[in-house]
Amino acid sequence: MSAVRSARDERGSAAPFAVGVIGLLIFVGAALGVVGAVFVAHRTAQSAADLAALAGANALQVSEDACATARAIADRNGARLESCEIVDEDVTVTVQVEGPRWLGQPGDPVAEARAGPTD
């Protein structure tokens, strides 16, 4: 009779473990989602910076306002132009995109790119 009794006493003992494992899986899934979102935001920032620098350098070659062109291209690609610098025939831009906010992440992804004629 004691074998039957001990089996009944252990019923439901896996429930706290299962709840803990499910909670951990949800937390890890959320963290991976945020890491993925940060990665996508950084790639967006870098792409926008590259395109803005190329457009600015092209505008500079045809005597147009390089920084205005770079700003327009950055805006079209979901980024904000933070700085634009022209040195000789090179255009260097820095852009920023809005990133995900999770657990008080302080900053948004920033990217820089330079374009100009080859030597």
Residue ranges per domain, the chain? Answer: 15-115
What pLDDT does residue 71 have?
A: 96
Residue 14 carries which DSSP code? Answer: T
Backbone torsions φ then ψ of 66, nearest 5 degrees: -65, -40
pLDDT > 70? residue 24: yes
**Residues with Cβ < 8 Å from 80, sequence gap 6 or more?**
74, 95, 96, 97
Looking at residues 58-76, what average pLDDT do you find?
A: 95
What's this model's pTM, rounded to 2 decimal places?
A: 0.76
What is Dmax (Cα atoms) for the chain? 96
Find the DSSP H helices in 77-118: none
Burial degree of 81 (CB within 10 A; 0-12, 13-18, 19+): buried
What pLDDT does residue 28 have?
A: 94
pLDDT > 90? residue 113: yes
